[in-house]
Chain A
Amino acid sequence: MLVLHLSVVAINHLVLAKAAESIDRSAGRNAQVAALLAMDRDIETLQGTVLSFMYTGDQALARRVTEGVEHLSEALTVHSDGAFGSSRSGDLAPMMDALRSYEEGLVQVIAQRGHQSRVLIDSVRPFAAETRATLSRLLAVADAQGASEAVAKVGAAIRRFDRAEEVVLAYQLDPSGALVHQFREASGEFAVALEDLVSADVEPIRAGVDAWRRSVFHVFSSTRSYLHLVNVVLAGQALEFRTLSSLWIERALDAQAVEEMEAQLDGERLRELSDWAGILTVLAGLLAGWWISRSVSAPITEMSDTFTALAAGHHVEIAGTDRRDELGQLAKAAEVFAERNRETRALLVQADRMARERETTNGILEKHVAELKLRNEDLDSFSYSASHDLRAPLRSIALLAEWIQEDAASSLPSESVEHLQLMVGRVQRLDKLLDGLLAYARIGRAEDLKQRFSVRGAIDDAVEAWGGLSAVRVSVVGEDVELEAPRVAFHKVVQNLVSNAVAHHDREVAHVTIEIQVDDDHLELRVGDDGPGIPALLHERVFQIFQTGKPRDVQEGSGIGLAIVQKMVYQAGGSIELDPAPGRGALFLVRWPLLARSESRLPVASEPV
């Protein structure tokens, strides 16, 4: 469109330039035509002046014609080499040639005319004057002497000379070849007549006759020469000059007419061209608009749609990322956006899946928990029922064995008595196991209300209530705190841990240290003893039910004390673990949640209980 617009501008410039050029050319041509017409008049005037000069020999006229030719030559040079271009100056070159020949002819005309005058003045007239004077003098002398023959001879010479002179004069007035002949005859006769004269005075004339005749022929010759130059050469060159001038003017006018016609046609053509260019510009504008909307607006709309789609989370093919403009940058941004969108969508899908999985897991867990709870309850229920229900037959068996032993001890072989004793022992062990199991099953079953109590006080109470104080020295260290928890369970935990330390102790008196520590939300009891410690192999199973560190035959125990501790601690929301640190003694770490902690801190009793 810009190109077309520029084309329109260029066309308009072209039109103007052509018009200006045409005007210039026309003005130039008009100036040249005017100049040529002026030169035409000038050369005509010049010809007249040349004729005047030819007849009069007036040197002022000679100067005038010389200057006139120079002026013409300058004018022609100006219009040949001037502002009208070399193509046209070529047309004027033959005119310049004609003028140059004219000028050369003119120089000769002046020379010949001058020569003729000089010969007449310097030779012909002095000779004539001398001849007339001499002959007149001779005639007068002869006449005075009365010498009629001499008078007749001198008279004849004078008449012949007069005749010759008349011819010369006549030739000057009206040159003619016939007069030349007449002069030849007359002068010849004069020369003959001179021969008849005997006076010594005639000698100079006789001697000068030939020179005089030659001089007169010079006059004739020069006259013929300048007549030829003026009438033929100059007139011919002037004619050629004027013919060329009129031909040039004719051609110039023709060219002018043609040019005007062409200019008109050109104008129409250029106007048409301009119109078409205008129409094309408008069409190009529409096309450009369409193209812009297609190449700019459309991509923007497309991009907008892309972003909308991307925002809606749809997958969209993004076009235009290869563009090097702002749209390209937008497309790249859209691509980044789409990538983030894909990632986000993937994350959402993952989160959704995870949520669903969590829901599922939670469901399963809850189900499992419920099942577990149910199973635990069943187990507890079974344990409780079994231990409860088994105790009656077991008591019966023990009672019956006692009765057998009491009744038939003496009658029974010793081996059977031993077996009976062994059976009673086993029944008792089973009874203990059942007690333990029942105790274990009862945990959580019985109502154990949470109470607020002093930890140190509770430990002291538990140790004291346990009853085996002789075999143990319990030291409680650490700052006392108040704890809100099921007091019975807490008691049991402390008792079982002290009991466990004592039970597995290899010395008479066991030293048990209970260290109370509190952090932000837990009470930590570190219960250590100075016993033999727990073998590493048993660390894994130490809290399992019915697990004992030694065969029951070696060390009687229910194997349920630590299992009860763990269950109670767990039920309270806490944890218990065995410190695996090597060395003598065992150290249990109990973390008990502080459900409600007393604001006031009790003084630490570091004294052994």
Chain B
Amino acid sequence: MLRGGVALVASPGLLSAGPAIHVNRRPKLRVLGTHVTLQPAIRERAQRVLDIDIEFLPGGSAEVLQKASTFPESFDVYEQWSNSIEILWEAGAIQPIQHERIALWNEVNDLCKTGRLEAGATVGKGAAPHRMLYAQANGTLSGAPSQELSFLPYVHNVDSFGYDAASVERGTPYGSESWGWLLDPRWRGHVGIVNEPTIGLFDLALAAEARGLVTFADIGQMTRKEIDMLFEVLIDHKRRGQFGAFWNSVPHSVDLMASGRICVSSMFSPAVSALNGQGHDVVYAAPREGYRAWHGVMCLSSRTSGHAMDAAYRYMNWWLSGWPGAFVARQGYYISNPERARAFLSEAEWAYWYSGLEATSPLTGPDGSVSVRAGEVRRGGSYRERFGHVSVWNTVMREYEYSMRGWYSLLTA
């Protein structure tokens, strides 16, 4: 994913993929998800450790969500974001996970259970994972603990915007760095926005709010009026040429920033790493308004049963066993039970990625190349500090469909 990027655009071939036919005794697991976690190294390791066959079915976010919600028989395990849970749940595409079958459930930290890592930290608005973690007897999802989980929490991170320090004066984390830069007239024509309403709309809402243009009662659950007001502001900015591009994939965002078409943009961390690797001094901001967080969810298809279900549970348990957590940590992602991953990380890695300390030696990424130079400090600080600054979670709001109309108006304005 770091190199491949999140393809937000769907691939048509996957829609016609039917259920696999099992001919071997050895169980086969079909995993539908995005490139963020469906990485070949993970698959190879899991196959070897678990002694099962695993088929990865990667795709763009919208595509895999549509596929999963419509054709639950096409997969066993679904890996995506917490904001997609309600759709899947309501569509009956996923079944509850029995948390007694999750061996390390007790080691899973509070972020997904309470929305915060430590007491006193602000809880982000929107589809925070804890708000939909437990399946209730009435068929709804909520934060009230039960024996059934709607998803297995695992990979998560905070996102913000990146800026090219060659063009934009370097700000201070949680100080001068602000989402408001996205609507700052200084960068008119050179602002990039991710073309995804469940993500980009919050970046823009945070920006508008930061600049005092719009206020929201609940930024994670906007009303139609608020949505209308927001798009009124955004369309006005768009018509004044504020936005240079709405990017459709991580590589697209890298190209736009590298070519100079944009210098401030909502961004995913792999794009920042890629640009830094290319020699561009791109800073991944720690906005004072707080991050936009996302949480990975691992779900069980409503149609999965028997050996496939057993394999799915083994696979989910393996994800919390340490190695996968360490693997994604080297790409900047966190895992829900970090201590297990720590066993697979060097002290320097743990210090940089989780503790927010200076890297005491150069750190290599999953591909073996140096991704962090000695002396660097992760912007925004430690795991706890960063997740202590979550403003909103990626969310499919109630007015998701309505917001898409506004989004369309914004794009075509």
Binding site for B on A (CB under 8 A): 47, 94, 101, 104-105, 107-108, 111-112, 115, 174-178, 180-181, 184, 188, 213-214, 217-218, 220-225, 227-233, 235-240, 243, 247
Question: Contact at B196–A115, with CB atoms within 8 Å?
Answer: no
B62 engages A243 (CB within 8 Å): no
Please judge, given known A-B contacts A101-B248, A221-B70, whether A108 and B15 are in contact too, CB under 8 Å.
Answer: yes
Main secondary structure of the interface of A (DSSP, over half): helix
**A112 pairs with B66, CB closer than 8 A:** yes
How far in angstroms is the closest Cβ of chain A from B255? Answer: 8
Asked if residues B246 and A240 are in contact (CB atoms below 8 Å), the reply is: yes
Chain B nearest Cβ from A450, distance in angstroms: 143
Q: Does B90 contact A (CB under 8 A)?
A: yes
Chain B neighbourhood of A230, CB < 8 A: 408
Complex: A222 Cα to B91 Cα, angstroms: 11
- Residues of B within 8 Å of A178, CB to CB, are 398-399
Q: Does B175 contact A (CB under 8 A)?
A: no
Shortest CB–CB separation between residue A302 and chain B, in angstroms? 75
A232 near B400 with CB under 8 A, answer: no
Min CB distance, B148 to chain A, in Å?
Answer: 17
Chain B min CB distance to A53 (Å): 14
Mask: chain B, 242-272; 1 = CB below 8 Å from A; 0 = not: 0001101000000100000100000000000
Is B362 part of the binding interface, using a Cβ–Cβ cutoff of 8 Å?
Answer: no
Chain B 69-85 interface 0/1 with A at a Cβ cutoff of 8 Å (1 = within)? 11000000000000000
Contact call B401/A232, Cβ cutoff below 8 A: no
**Cβ B70 vs Cβ A240 within 8 A:** no
Q: Which residue of A lies closest to B60 (CB)?
A: A233
Known contacts A101-B9, A214-B91, A236 near B400 by CB under 8 Å: no
Which B residues between 86 and 131 are near A, CB-CB below 8 angstroms? Answer: 86-87, 90-92
Q: Which 3 A-B pairs have the closest CB atoms?
A: A236-B195, A175-B401, A177-B398
User: In the complex, which of the residues B91, B405, B407 has the most CB atoms of chain A within 10 Å of its own CB atom?
Assistant: B91
Q: Which residues of A contact B92 (CB under 8 A)?
A: 213-214, 217
- In this complex, what residue of B is CB-closest to A101? B9
User: Could you say which residues of chain A place their CB within 8 Å of the CB of B9?
Assistant: 101, 104-105, 233, 237
Q: How far is the CB of B203 from chain A (nearest CB, A)?
A: 14
Given the known A-B contacts A108-B63, A236-B248, are A177 and B404 also in contact in the complex, defined by CB atoms under 8 Å?
no
> How distant is the Cα of A42 from the Cα of B255 in the complex, in angstroms?
26
29 interchain pairs (CB within 8 A)? A101-B248, A104-B11, A108-B10, A108-B63, A111-B15, A115-B70, A176-B401, A176-B402, A177-B398, A184-B139, A218-B70, A220-B91, A224-B401, A225-B65, A225-B66, A225-B70, A227-B401, A228-B66, A228-B404, A231-B405, A231-B408, A232-B197, A232-B404, A233-B9, A233-B195, A235-B407, A235-B412, A237-B248, A239-B412
Query: What residues of chain B lie closer than 8 Å to A220, measured between beta carbons?
Result: 90-91
Contact A232 B412 (CB under 8 A): no
Asked if B400 contacts A229 (CB within 8 A), the reply is no
In the assembled complex, B12 has its CB within 8 A of some CB on chain A: yes
**CB neighbours of B399 from chain A (8 A):** 176-178
Cβ-based interface call for B397 (8 A): yes
B396 interface residue (CB < 8 Å to A): yes
Please state if A108 and B12 are interface contacts (CB–CB under 8 Å): yes
Supply 19 further A-B pairs (C-beta < 8 A) apart from A221-B66, A222-B70, A231-B407: A104-B9, A108-B12, A108-B15, A112-B66, A115-B70, A176-B399, A178-B399, A214-B91, A217-B69, A217-B92, A225-B66, A231-B404, A232-B196, A233-B195, A236-B411, A237-B9, A237-B248, A239-B195, A239-B246
Tell me which of A174, A177, A232, A247 contacts B407 (CB under 8 A): A232
Q: Which residues on the B side are within 8 Å of A222 (C-beta)?
A: 66, 70
In the assembled complex, how far is the CB of residue B359 from the closest CB belonging to chain A, in whole angstroms? 36
A-contact 0/1 string along B383-413, CB 8 Å cutoff: 0000000000000111111101101100110
Closest CB of chain B to A136's CB: distance in Å?
Answer: 28
B91/A221 in contact, CB under 8 A: yes
CA distance A228 to B405 in the complex (A): 9
Q: Would you call A188 and B404 a contact (CB within 8 A)? A: no
Residue from A104, A231, A237 with most neighbouring chain B CB atoms (10 Å)? A231
What residues of chain A lie closer than 8 Å to B8, measured between beta carbons? 233
Q: Which residue of A lies closest to B406 (CB)?
A: A231
Could you say which residues of chain A place their CB within 8 Å of the CB of B90?
180-181, 184, 217, 220
Across-interface contacts of A112 in B (CB, < 8 A): 66
Q: Is the CB of B398 within 8 A of A176?
A: yes
Residue of B nearest to A119 (CB): B70
Is the pair A217, B408 in contact by a Cβ cutoff of 8 Å?
Answer: no
Contacts of B197 in A (CB 8 A): 228, 231-232
Nearest CB of A to B398, in Å: 4
- Bound: A603/B72 CA distance, A: 174
Establish whether residues B245 and A232, one from each chain, have CB atoms under 8 Å apart when the complex forms.
Answer: no
List the A side residues contacting B255 at CB < 8 Å.
94
Q: Which residues of B contact A115 (CB under 8 A)?
A: 70
